[in-house]
């Protein structure tokens, strides 16, 4: 067969793809409406020329992982918990990813002697109660490796919590079969899984079935989402997203303000806009559906809850309702205050 002729007009997006990898699962691709140039699923996963615009304020390591890395693949920022970056691959590559300089870029994950060293690091530090498994996406590990890692961690007496952060149950749900869910269950430690989703349409029947398999295996699920311009930065979408988590037994946990990752400026909105959306969410759904709106302070110093504040105490001990600044209304005027 003759070799294919080179394209006469190169695709300008190839420059983006050569900088940051592209991957979209069949499940997510099927959700994209090709007739909608602003489709929120496409925005999350398809390359965009704006990714080549890097602002001076952006940083390849926006939350300062490297500064707090005592060993390859380990981040130890807070005394009582440590992060293992298990694998640098994901089933999808989110165009806003805060670790986009690392994921899908061929970096090694934690295995063999490097994993042994990471486990020994935890074992030698009784203050560490929680190990957070991240990546990339740690659910890219096989069920066998995930189960083995779970058992190794639970065997360390002072490790009480094992927390996985993953997008797989939503974007590649068939991967989370009952064998996988069972592999995460272990005695000696509680397993939590933080489920990453950003738009209510991501909750397909297959995704909901995968989430049910995890919950039914005794795993505690919490949510994490990123507040993204054009994807979920309106009150209705955000409320529907939190309702989707809740009905799937996923407790809303974190709503991240976007990090200063390179080439992601088109996703960022102001903190004031995010606070106004949180105030609207508070008015719309119950307290059970409220995530913490959070910012990883650039450089990695800490996580900072962004509010908004709803009340201010005056010098006489009275309370002032802060309405104008964040869209909040006095209780008497609100139609449906959260419980
Ligand atoms: S799944 Fe997570 S780590 Fe992977 S590309 Fe998306 S945001 Fe980044």
Task: Please say whether the dihedral angle defined by the alpha carbons of residues 323, 288, 39 and 295, taken in this order, is positive or negative.
Answer: positive
Residue-level pLDDT at 334: 40
Give pLDDT tens digits along the chain (339 positions): 555 566 667 888 999 999 999 999 999 999 999 999 999 999 999 999 999 999 999 999 998 889 999 999 999 999 999 999 999 999 999 999 999 999 999 888 999 999 999 999 999 999 999 999 998 999 999 999 999 999 999 999 999 999 999 999 999 999 999 999 999 999 899 999 999 999 999 999 999 999 999 999 999 999 999 999 999 999 999 999 999 999 999 999 999 999 999 999 999 999 999 999 999 999 999 999 999 999 998 877 788 999 888 888 888 888 887 764 455 554 444 444 444
Q: Is 8 within a domain? A: no
In degrees rounded to 5, what are phi and psi of residue 215?
-60, -45
Alpha carbons 321 and 215: distance in angstroms, whole number? 39
Residue 271 domain boundaries: 13-308
User: 3-state DSSP call for residue 315?
Assistant: coil
Q: Phi-psi category of 296—alpha, beta or left, where left has phi over 0 and alpha has psi -120 to 50?
A: beta
pLDDT digit string, tens, across residues 287-315: 999 999 999 988 777 889 998 888 888 88
For position 294, which CATH number holds? 3.20.20.70
**287 and 339 fall within a common domain:** no
The structure tokens listed for 184 are 């995460």
User: 3-state DSSP call for residue 198?
Assistant: coil
Please indicate whether residue 303 is annotated as part of the active site.
Answer: yes
CA neighbor of 122 nearest in space, from 80, 92, 87: 80
pTM reported for the whole predicted model: 0.91
**44 and 101 fall within a common domain:** yes
**224 and 317 fall within a common domain:** no
User: 3-state DSSP call for residue 329?
Assistant: coil
Q: Is 2 within a domain? A: no
Q: Phi-psi category of 299—alpha, beta or left, where left has phi over 0 and alpha has psi -120 to 50?
A: left
Please indicate whether residue 77 is annotated as part of the active site.
Answer: yes
Query: How many domains does the chain fold into?
Result: 2
Asked whether the beta carbons of 308 and 278 are under 8 A apart, the reply is: yes
User: 3-state DSSP call for residue 111?
Assistant: coil
- The CA 134 to ligand 1 mean position distance, Å, reads 9
- The CA 160 to ligand 1 mean position distance, Å, reads 26
**267 and 317 fall within a common domain:** no
The structure tokens listed for 297 are 């302070």
Classify strands 130-135 and 81-87 as parallel, antiparallel or unpaired. Answer: parallel
Q: Is 62 within a domain? A: yes
**333 and 212 fall within a common domain:** no
**87 and 191 fall within a common domain:** yes
Nearest CA to ligand 1 atom 6: 94
**257 and 322 fall within a common domain:** no
- The CA 167 to ligand 1 mean position distance, Å, reads 7
pLDDT digit string, tens, across residues 258-267: 999 999 999 9
Q: Is 7 within a domain? A: no
**90 and 234 fall within a common domain:** yes
**155 and 42 fall within a common domain:** yes
Q: Phi-psi category of 112—alpha, beta or left, where left has phi over 0 and alpha has psi -120 to 50?
A: left
**229 and 294 fall within a common domain:** yes
Residue-level pLDDT at 318: 85
**145 and 169 fall within a common domain:** yes
Please indicate whether residue 61 is annotated as part of the active site.
Answer: no
Q: Is 3 within a domain? A: no
Residue-level pLDDT at 4: 59
């Amino acid at each position: 067969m003759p070799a294919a002729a080179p394209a006469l007009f190169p695709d300008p997006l190839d420059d983006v793809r050569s900088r940051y990898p592209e991957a979209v699962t069949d499940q997510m691709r099927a959700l994209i409406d090709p007739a909608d140039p602003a489709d929120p699923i496409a925005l999350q996963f398809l390359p965009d020329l704006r990714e080549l615009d890097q602002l001076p304020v952006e940083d390849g390591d926006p939350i300062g992982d490297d500064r707090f890395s005592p060993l390859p693949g380990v981040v130890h920022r807070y005394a009582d918990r440590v992060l293992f970056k298990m694998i640098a691959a994901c089933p999808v590559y989110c165009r806003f990813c805060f670790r986009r300089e690392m994921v899908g870029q061929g970096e090694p994950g934690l295995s063999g002697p490097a994993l042994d060293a990471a486990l020994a690091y935890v074992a030698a530090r009784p203050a560490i109660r929680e190990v957070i498994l991240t990546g990339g996406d740690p659910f890219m590990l096989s069920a066998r490796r995930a189960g083995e890692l779970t058992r190794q961690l639970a065997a360390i007496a002072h490790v009480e919590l094992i927390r996985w952060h993953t997008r797989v149950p939503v974007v590649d749900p068939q991967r989370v079969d009952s064998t996988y869910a069972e592999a995460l269950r272990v005695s000696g430690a509680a397993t939590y899984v933080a489920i990453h989703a950003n738009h209510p349409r991501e909750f397909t029947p297959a995704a909901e079935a995968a989430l049910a398999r995890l919950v039914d295996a005794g795993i505690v699920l919490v949510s994490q989402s990123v507040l993204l311009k054009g994807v979920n930065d309106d009150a209705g979408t955000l409320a529907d997203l939190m309702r989707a988590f809740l009905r799937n037994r996923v407790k809303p946990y974190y709503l991240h303000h976007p990090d200063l990752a390179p080439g992601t400026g088109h996703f960022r909105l102001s903190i004031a806009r995010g606070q106004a959306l949180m105030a609207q969410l508070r008015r719309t759904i119950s307290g059970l559906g409220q995530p913490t709106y959070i910012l990883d302070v650039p450089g990695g110093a800490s996580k900072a809850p962004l509010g908004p504040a709803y009340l201010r105490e005056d010098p006489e001990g009275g309370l002032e309702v802060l309405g104008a600044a964040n869209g909040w209304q006095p209780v008497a005027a609100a139609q449906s205050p959260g419980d």
